Structure 1
């Protein structure tokens, strides 16, 4: 450690000190002490200022070494080899770390991401069992992130080195581009190569197929496979190659043949023709005859996506309880050359890929929960609803909801994501025309309901809250040995305040149901609602009471009651009696999982006031001039529809309306643009009940055809637009080349694009022009699955649709150590030091940890510097204030002198008093000694000594001899007084 200066050239200013001393010596007016103090302070001030200007510093050197071990935990390395790494680094630290030098060692584990397992510390590394339990994602290798983390994790006041144990096969990031920055920081890099998995392995590289195919066009696809033969083996691998094609629910095996794979790449052609327009997903799978010939089964499958263009196709979903009810409607569409596929609501789509075969989806009077019997209840779960919405919003498909007694708000769709996608709200916002419904839930909360039953009952109550409109009323009561009012009967309104109340319901106690039903009856009877309904849920036997009379009173007041008996121990006869008298329905469920569907099914009863029926009929009015209704005349009257409210948005357009309650105008046909797609609502039915006169309407077929063509995803010629995708470094690059009819580049296009990941979550994709006629965008992929890409080149053009299939991680593709990258990293020369070491491989399994010494020299010495000039500035300021005080203030020390004199006087008095006492004691001692000598005989050898007479009585003041008897102090005082006179 030593003192240095950042700008030593300013130290010459110290030469001014002698000149300052000479000038100060010649000045007069200060005493000697004052002058010495002032000159000293001024000299120190000048010295501090010069030191601050010169940038005074404390500098020291450190020979400590910090080593960070980076352990590759990706799937390309055997699990056993990964465990050996921990033992290797622990032994390496014990062999070479200098404890006396206080060297540091740490560990970073990396796969898809990097994490600090052991921060740098001055001790040996822990045992393998003390490391993490495998929470790190190992389906990728991100060496760049691990190096960056090691660079920032090590302290900067020591010499630093990184030791990497890896096979060098990075699937994310670019480690080479950060190596130079690490070397510039003076950090050395040592490499310990780790071999990949051993043994032979077969990899299905890819299934190469055109993304855009025309119907009837011959297709030649290729399956590319690689046989990584074991070392010193040239034997082929036998197995079977299977290729399947999936469209919607249909799976078709188009190839299943035995093959023989020679070492290296193998290519197998796949020739076929597609006669039906639809999106297809192809899967190629290799099945080895001997599993020992294939080390990994995860890389034996490849997936490809193909889109075959053709005429428009529509998926019409009809209620499962009414098969064939919409056959006539479908026939009218087919007459307009629109291909229609009719499916029941209980056997429809389950994935987004299945909907890619259709340009539009129609929900024809379909309730969210349908059916009557417990075992035949069918419903649209949240995932299916999300698929419908994403298919429109992100992929541009059309979506139409047709009304009926079980559709829209009356069908239980209120509060769902589907309502948000429609141009109308499924509830009446104007309270003057709102027909209110009221629902009471009576839930058994006895001890037998604890667990799954109670959780599902609470989930069912929450769904009921979401399904009801804001003006509807809801009350919830629970019962065990006592009755509890969870939510008193009140309007649903914002809903959010009710959900926490439901979540606090607990189970425990006996079963007494009558008081709870009675209180729920009182709550319903005091509510002014058009429809009043009660649902009772229990799983046991209750105390006897007159339930028949109570239910009869409810029936007389227009309150319906449905009952749900859960399990085999429920009182079925009582529950059946309650439902029968209450004009409701009795459900007996053996599995609690059916509870939410039943409650949602029964909640629809409360939505019946949303249905407006007029037997005499009401005349619909065409409200706006729109291409969809161009050339369509005035429609015949309708006798009913489901009441809704048009969304408060300029995008929502009501094209047809009809008179409603209190002379209000209600939407009959409304449309709008939703994301990349379009949605529409027809609140009346398709001619089954309310709009039966439309069957003979001349313009009906034209209206339906124009509506569907307006909704459909554009399916015409894609022009000279080409779409390609490339997967690289965890990113999918989407490239669109755009040409016009004369093969000239199309520039400055505003392309709309969207991507859905395997969980149907949207991924941001922005297309930017990078060259004439070339547009590029990219999005990340971090797991296996199908990613759907949808690009609309320009307004009104046919979309470009493709799928990117990621069947397995790139970790399973790589079989050899990337020695080129490892040598490049080890060769990086740190600033002021020597290049790193490429150690022997761990291939043998018994690599010697002592062979590599990462704590060695070869690194630039660490010089630490601490600036001290701010401290000298502060010292100079303080001394300057003292210097001013000494020079500008006249110091009067007379008071100090007086205090000193008084102190001296007190000390003298104390000394005189002590002296007088000593003299008195000495006199007394002498008298005592004289008396003793007189009493004894005088010695012959000693002469007689005359003993002086001691006056024991002190003289009195005023006598003649008083001055001689005065004390020393008194005499001193008299002398001072005389001196003053």
Structure 2
């Protein structure tokens, strides 16, 4: 143990050499990748004995392609590191951590030296400490004509209506001409044809913004001479400050006229657009504090708007308000869409007004005329409509799809709609066939629905032709008796519109005619809800005040005017039902959704159902309250955001007046595709927070910073980040970093693979610590010591018992000899006694001889008794020794 604690080591000489190849395959050096692989392969093939080689590639990060081994094969590069920047410092650091400790070290760096992240000179002390032999193969590239946008300067904040400058800086290594375009959002603001000199050139554009919010700018150049196109575009933004702005989206012209009058009376800052013009990015949506839709169908809104709506409300504290009409809510296709997710109402009926089971039969014409002529045929749209109808049904509902031409065929026999994917796959198989015969198909659909146990039974008939058969009375009569309803859809001018209108009227349904084929899917989806006869309510009623709310402040006194209709829906569990219908359906509902708020108005604002509301003197106050409540913010204006970009990293700083130690600050970054990432900001001093986030793609990112105290959000701020192209596509200003690295580490530049192993490295002396060896020995001795004590072993006792056993053996031998002598004497005595007896008989007279014989006899008897006593004593001593021996054996 003492030796182990002394830290004793022995010194050994090691001749192994480890060589690591570090290959730069960033964007600026990617053209050399093939040559780099060849260079490394040739070097490894000529590697001396007792050498091991490894290969690592790098850009912004590193990947180890080949582990250290004596093998002379290299199969090429398979991995791809992040190539949008060159970080030689990180690559060398990773290489040093990869080297085996017990070997001489050689590092071969293959790079163009165009470092734009980190500083490779910071690694010099570590290279010197580990005595690394540094060799650098510097890649020299031929100069190609290159022009790029280096920077765009724009004021951080501007005033609406004021002219400001946009300064564009261009770098070029060739004299040429170019076209420069300036875009703001999706609008081209200016364009210039300019002559570009070699070096740096500046060009100035002027612009004016007439609306507020974050305004994005994009500069694009098209040079006559150029090599790389990825650096010909640059992004920038500015913030045009103004009071909160509202976006009004109309489903059809005139739908928002009444709201426009209200906004004008309130001096609101608003913008009105059609549904097709809805914003396509989160950044565009964030220009507005509130977005209102008036009787907008979901199919008229672009997918980008829908994808960003939840983020706009939930994460960036936006406001969303939807008003009703016959193309909104359930009839507008909001079911299972972002509209339904954000709004405070479900689109389908739930609870006590839940729709009973429905059975739907789709009777679709697939005659030859349904597949004719158009880029998208009528039959393709009919199949799309059928698929959309399937999506609208609940798992409890039944569906059947019947196609007809001269005859009919069940593509999908009437069945449960749970397996929607399988049903859709079968619908896709419908193809074009012969003529048109409606009656047999309609009769078959009625017969099939008769046996259904559904409470609601409905048929949708679609055709673009006519069959000349007018005797439908019997089937319509039977259908009415079975409460089976029929709606019809006529497509194109060749359809028998009068017949289809008659069938719908007699069948208790609705008739539709369309020359715009794209209306077909919308009609089918809407018709399913209408067949339930509870969603569309065209009747006069007076809204009831269901619960007190700030929205009714100064409005509820004296009651509400009557409305002439609404679209039914179901309020969500945590929503506030402010006004309801005479049947307790929600009319005005509001709720908090994440950081933002949303409101649902189930009647319209175009005057069809809200005619009495338009003339009411408190309508303006009601909508002022709705807007004020929905766009309330968390301490707006109390914090400032500063963002600095370095390569693909955004350094975010946030400063607030809130100095609380319990406050936490998080940043949420959202790209143009809607991908979100959250970053906790660390406090660097009271009221100031910072963090770094890596950005992946070029483009604009929306930034939201929020302050939290516990689980409560006390403040939020929004900003924008403009991510540029990689610095790899800019000219590199060589400051001689590679040269200084070689000089400071006493390395060398090489020009061929033969030079890699040309220099011999000094042997490495390695010290081997014996601490563990001594500890193992101590452990072994410790275990022996435990065994010795535990088993009660005594080596002195063993020695003493050995001597004792020797004495006993000697005594045994003497005892045997004595016994033998005694036996001889006894035999002699017996013989003498016999002789003496005989002599006595003969010579009884001789007294003297008798006395002598008696004397001799007594003497012999005495000796015999003495011998017997000694034998008993010896026997006793032998028994004692035997007992002692047995005792020792038991002890063992």
Alignment equivalent of 1:764, drawn from 671, 678, 694: 678
Q: Distance in 1 between matches of 2:120 and 2:677?
A: 27
Equivalent pair of 1:579/1:586 in contact (CA under 8 Å): no
Q: 1:8 to 1:136 in 2, by over 3 A?
A: same
Give the structure 2 partner of residue 488 of structure 1. 415
Task: Give the superposition deviation at 1:304.
Answer: 1.0
Q: Deviations over 1:331-353 (max 9, x none)?
A: 22122112333222234332333
Q: Which residue of 2 aligns with 1:400?
A: 321
2:749 alignment counterpart: 839
- CA–CA distance in structure 1, aligned partners of residues 424 and 8 of structure 2: 70
- Cα distance in 1 between the residues matched to 2:567 and 2:356: 12
Partner residue, 1:332: 262
1:124 aligns with one of 72, 75, 78: 72
Counterpart position of 2:622 = 703
Matched, 1:261 2:261: no
Residue matched to 1:67? 19
Report if aligned partners of 2:456, 2:484 keep a CA contact under 8 Å in 1.
no
* Deviation of 1:533 (Å): 4.4
Distance 1:483 1:474, change over 3 A: closer
Compute the RMSD of aligned alpha carbons. 5.2
Change in Cα spacing, 1:805 to 1:851, as seen in structure 2 (3 Å) is same
Aligned-partner Cα distance in 2 for 1:489–1:441: 14
Q: 1:793 to 1:482 in 2, by over 3 A?
A: same
Match of 1:296 among 228, 232, 235: 228
CA distance in 1, matches of 2:429, 2:9: 73
Is 1:105 aligned to residue 53 of structure 2? yes
Alignment partners' CA distance in 1, 2:359 and 2:163: 62
User: Separation in 2 of the partners of 1:547 and 1:781?
Assistant: 69
Which of 727, 736, 760 in structure 1 is aligned with 2:645?
727
Query: Structure 1 residue 659 and structure 2 residue 569: aligned?
Result: no
Distance 1:381 1:523, change over 3 A: farther
CA distance in 1, matches of 2:471, 2:125: 84
Q: For the structure 1 residues 182 and 474, does the alpha-carbon distance in structure 2 shift closer, same or farther, using more than 3 Å as the test?
A: farther
Q: How far has the Cα of 1:77 moved from its partner? A: 2.5
Corresponding position: 1:853 with 2:757: yes
Q: Tell me the CA shift for residue 770 of structure 1.
A: 2.7
Equivalent position to 1:804, from 721, 733, 736: 721
What is the rounded CA distance, in whole Å, between the counterparts of 1:91 and 1:517 in structure 2?
82
Q: TM-score, normalised by structure 1?
A: 0.66
| Residue number among 358, 366, 383 corresponding to 2:288 in the alignment | 358
1:410 equivalent in alignment to 2:336:
no
Measure, in 2, the Cα distance between the counterparts of 1:701 and 1:816. 64
Q: Does 1:313 align with 2:231?
A: no
Task: Compute the displacement of 1:699 (Å).
Answer: 0.6
Residue segments in structure 1 that go unaligned for 5+ positions in a row: 1-6, 11-52, 231-235, 370-378, 829-834, 841-846, 891-981
Q: Does 1:528 align with 2:454?
A: yes
Cα distance per residue 1:522-569 (max 9 Å; x no partner): 25861434463447799xx9xxx999899868965534466799xx9x
1:402 offset after TM fit, Å? 0.7
Question: Does the Cα contact within 8 Å between 1:714 and 1:796 map onto a contact in 2?
Answer: no
Matches of 2:12 and 2:500, distance apart in 1: 91
The corresponding residue for 1:952 is: none
Q: Are 2:573 and 1:648 aligned?
A: yes
Instruction: Sort the Cα spacing of 1:56 and 1:725 in 2 relative to 1 into closer, same or farther, 3 A.
Output: closer
Larger radius of gyration: 2
Residue 405 of structure 1 and its aligned partner are, at CA, apart by: 2.0
Q: Write the distance in 2 (CA, Å) between the matches of 1:136 and 1:796.
A: 39
Q: Distance in 1 between matches of 2:396 and 2:287?
A: 40
Is the CA contact (8 Å cut-off) linking 1:723 and 1:734 kept in structure 2?
yes
1:360-759 maps to which residues of 2 (within 5 A)?
360-369=290-299, 379-434=300-355, 437-440=358-361, 464-468=389-393, 473-474=398-399, 488-489=415-416, 498-499=420-421, 518=444, 522=448, 526-530=452-456, 532-534=458-460, 556=480, 557-560=483-486, 581=503, 598-599=520-521, 601-608=523-530, 609=532, 610-611=534-535, 613=537, 615-621=539-545, 623-626=547-550, 629-633=553-557, 634-649=559-574, 652-660=575-583, 665-712=584-631, 718=637, 722-738=640-656, 753-759=667-673
Distance 2:471 2:722 in 1: 60
What is aligned with 1:43?
Answer: none
CA distance in 1, matches of 2:14, 2:385: 68
Deviation at 1:767, TM superposition (A): 4.4
Please name the residue that 1:782 is paired with: 696
In the TM superposition, residue 93 of structure 1 has moved relative to its aligned partner by 2.1
Partners of 2:229 and 2:254 lie apart in 1 by 46
Aligned-residue offset at 1:261? 3.4
Q: Secondary structure at the match of 1:390?
A: helix
Structure 1 residue matching 2:605: 3-state secondary structure:
coil
Residue of structure 2 equivalent to 1:216: 161
CA contact (8 A) 1:443 1:536 kept: yes
Q: Does 1:283 align with 2:222?
A: no
Task: Give the match for residue 37 of structure 2.
Answer: 86
CA distance in 2, matches of 1:199, 1:420: 54
For residues 758 and 496 of structure 2, the distance between their equivalents in structure 1, rounded to whole angstroms, comes to 82
Contact persistence 1:427–1:469 (CA under 8 A): no
1:55-204 alignment, distance < 5 Å: 62-77=14-29, 79=31, 81-95=32-46, 97-98=47-48, 100-101=49-50, 103-126=51-74, 131-132=77-78, 137-143=82-88, 146-147=91-92, 150=95, 158-171=103-116, 189-195=134-140, 198-204=143-149
Q: Do the aligned partners of 1:159 and 1:862 also contact (CA within 8 Å) in 2?
A: no
Per-residue deviation, 1:706: 2.3
TM (normalized to structure 2)? Answer: 0.72
Give secondary structure in 1 for the equivalent of 2:182.
Answer: strand
CA contact (8 A) 1:277 1:308 kept: yes
Q: Distance in 1 between the 2:426 and 2:753 partners?
A: 59
Cα deviation digits, residues 435-481 of structure 1 (max 9, x gap): 665445689999x99xx999999987775555445665556789999
The 1:577/1:456 distance shift into structure 2, 3 A limit, reads: same
Q: Does the 8 Å CA contact 2:443/2:475 hold for their aligned counterparts?
A: no
Aligned equivalents of 1:8 and 1:444: distance in 2?
A: 99
Aligned 8 A contact 1:475 1:523 in 2: no
CA distance in 1, matches of 2:384, 2:649: 39
CA distance in 1, matches of 2:10, 2:364: 77
Contact 1:400 1:679 in 2 (8 A): yes
Q: Matched residues in 2 for 1:875 and 1:549: separation?
A: 110
* Separation of aligned partners in 2, 1:864 and 1:487: 83
Q: Deviations over 1:880-919 (max 9, x none)?
A: 989999989x9xxxxxxxxxxxxxxxxxxxxxxxxxxxxx
Aligned to 2:869: none
On the 8 A contact 1:641/1:690 being kept in 2, the answer is yes
- Could you tell me which of 173, 181, 188 is aligned with 1:251? 188
Are the aligned partners of 2:340 and 2:347 in contact in 1 as well (CA < 8 Å)? yes
Partner of 1:418, secondary structure, is: helix
CA distance in 1, matches of 2:217, 2:632: 23
- Cα deviation for residue 726 of structure 1 reads 0.5
Instruction: State the Cα distance separating 1:62 from its structure 2 match.
Output: 4.9
Between Structure 1 and Structure 2, how many residues are aligned? 766
Whole-angstrom CA distance in 2 between matches of 1:509 and 1:614: 40
CA distance in 2, matches of 1:434, 1:625: 30
Higher mean Cα deviation, 140-149 or 794-803? 794-803
Deviations 1:9-30 (CA, angstroms, capped at 9, x unpaired): 37xxxxxxxxxxxxxxxxxxxx
Structure 2 counterpart SS, 1:617: coil
Query: 1:690 and 1:342 mapped to 2: Cα distance?
Result: 22
Question: Retained in 2: the 8 A contact 1:394–1:755?
Answer: no
1:521 and 1:184 mapped to 2: Cα distance?
A: 92
